């Protein structure tokens, strides 16, 4: 196993890559090895410098027309070839929708293990200890791999980016031929997206089953607008009622805003696992026994249809100096 050495990070999300570099730098320092970022795409050379500034000692750059769009086969094969050639002992992959699809495929090719959605990473006796939430966020499982490379996927907003420090490093252009994709894009359509990603929002006003009709989200939008925040929702509104395509929770977006206002959300453990890092949680619920009240910093027991508009009215008046 001594032939495996070094800590690598990869994500198609550049922001998440910087977060991985922050944790990867800590792991590499403890192991006294190099920290390497893998950069793939078509015209990506100008992005290598930023990765070095944020912690990478080396950047392996794979520039190929086949990597202009993210297709699972070319990206997986390119990364697998790199790993087989250079043999890192640790590989951190961003747990995005694409990253979660690629990581297990990569692990299968490399005949190693993969631990998903890790929230804690540490080194013990020279091995990577990977911790992740299980049982709906009710417990923390610690896992290790018996073989290398040790692969872990990491969700956004788990680790902090390093400050840009004007560092110098090595950029290595790698000549690798990715596999051809078995799929083809026939048509692309733009979807309506929020101006700010919910993971990046400093204030979130979220609704749950207590919101009776989709159009009633307007009262939550009013409050979010006043607070300079963004709207969110729980899983039942997406999975059961089909009002939305995404949600906040253990299986959806994990958030850590300064203020999280939960309106009509019962707060089952899967939802709480996605908001537990919020600085302040306000719960508005007419059920005095709702589970979310146990984790809330401030509690308002009552009908959200009365409380949210009243709260918006007061805040609007205060902001106007009235």
pLDDT tens, 59-103? 999 998 888 889 899 999 999 999 999 999 999 999 998 999 999
- Reported as a single tens digit per residue, the pLDDT across 104-135 is 999 999 999 999 999 999 999 999 999 998 87
pLDDT for 112: 96
- Reported as a single tens digit per residue, the pLDDT across 244-259 is 988 999 878 889 999 9
CB count, 10 Å around CB of 293? 18
pLDDT for 158: 86
pLDDT for 2: 67
Contact present, 79 and 38 (Cβ < 8 Å): yes
Mean pLDDT of 215-229: 95
- Which residue shows structure tokens 């050639």? 85
Averaged pLDDT score across all residues of the chain: 91
pLDDT surpassing 60 at residue 278: yes
Mean pLDDT of 40-68: 92
- Reported as a single tens digit per residue, the pLDDT across 152-181 is 999 888 898 988 777 889 999 998 888 888
Contact present, 278 and 255 (Cβ < 8 Å): yes
pLDDT surpassing 70 at residue 192: no
- Indicate the CATH number of 7-173 among 2.60.120.380, 3.40.50.620, 3.40.50.920, 3.40.50.300: 3.40.50.620
Using a pLDDT cut of 70, give the percent of the chain over it. 95
pLDDT surpassing 80 at residue 137: no
pLDDT for 16: 94
> Per mean pLDDT, which range of 80-89, 179-188, 234-243 is the poorest?
179-188
Cα 313 from chain centre: 34
Provide the pLDDT confidence category of residue 57 given band limits of 50, 70 and 90.
Answer: very high
pLDDT for 69: 87
Q: Which residues contact 97 (CB under 8 A, 6 or more apart)?
A: none
**Where do the structural domains in the chain lie, given as residue ranges?**
7-173, 198-319
What does pTM read for this prediction? 0.74
pLDDT for 196: 64
pLDDT for 188: 75
Contact present, 24 and 55 (Cβ < 8 Å): yes
User: In this structure, is the dihedral angle defined by the CA atoms of residues 242, 244, 246 and 251, taken in order, positive or negative?
Assistant: negative
Burial degree of 285 (CB within 10 A; 0-12, 13-18, 19+): buried
Provide the pLDDT confidence category of residue 25 given band limits of 50, 70 and 90.
Answer: very high
Provide the pLDDT confidence category of residue 45 given band limits of 50, 70 and 90.
Answer: confident
d(CA 272, CA 255): 10
Does 198-319 match 7-173 at the fold level?
Answer: yes
Topology at the third CATH level for domain 198-319: Rossmann fold (3.40.50)
d(CA 292, CA 257): 17
Using a pLDDT cut of 90, give the percent of the chain over it. 71
pLDDT for 134: 81
Mean pLDDT of 10-15: 94
Angle, helix 304-319 to helix 217-227, in steps of 10 degrees? 30
Q: What are phi and psi of 185, to 5 degrees?
A: -80, 120
pLDDT for 133: 82
């Amino acid at each position: 196993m001594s032939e495996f050495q070094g800590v690598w990070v990869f994500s198609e999300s550049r922001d998440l890559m910087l977060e991985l570099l922050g944790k990867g730098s800590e792991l590499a320092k403890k192991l006294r090895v190099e920290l390497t970022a893998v950069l793939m795409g078509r015209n990506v050379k100008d992005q290598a410098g930023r990765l070095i500034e944020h912690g990478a000692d080396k950047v392996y750059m794979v520039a190929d027309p086949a990597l202009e769009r993210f297709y699972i086969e070319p990206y997986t094969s390119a990364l697998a070839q790199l790993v087989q050639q250079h043999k890192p002992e640790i590989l951190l992959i961003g747990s995005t929708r694409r990253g979660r699809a690629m990581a297990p495929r990569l692990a299968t090719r490399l005949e190693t293990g993969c631990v998903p959605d890790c929230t804690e990473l540490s080194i013990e006796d020279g091995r990577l200890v990977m911790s992740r939430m299980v049982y709906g966020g009710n417990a923390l499982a610690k896992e290790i791999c018996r073989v290398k490379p040790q692969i872990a996927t990491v969700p956004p907003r788990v680790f902090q980016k390093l400050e840009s420090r004007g560092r110098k490093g090595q950029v290595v252009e790698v000549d690798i031929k990715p596999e051809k994709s078995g799929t083809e894009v026939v048509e692309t359509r733009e979807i309506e997206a929020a101006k700010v990603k919910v993971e990046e929002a400093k204030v979130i006003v979220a609704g749950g089953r207590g919101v009776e009709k989709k159009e009633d989200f307007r009262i939550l939008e009013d409050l979010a607008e006043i607070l300079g925040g963004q709207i969110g929702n729980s899983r039942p509104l997406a999975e059961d009622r089909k009002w939305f395509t995404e949600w906040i929770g253990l299986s959806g977006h994990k958030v850590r805003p300064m203020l999280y206002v939960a309106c009509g959300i019962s707060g089952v453990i899967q939802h709480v696992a996605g908001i537990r890092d919020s600085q302040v949680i306000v719960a508005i619920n007419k059920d005095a026994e709702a589970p979310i009240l146990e984790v809330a910093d401030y509690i308002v027991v009552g009908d959200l249809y009365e409380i949210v508009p009243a709260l918006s009215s007061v805040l609007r008046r205060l902001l106007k100096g009235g």
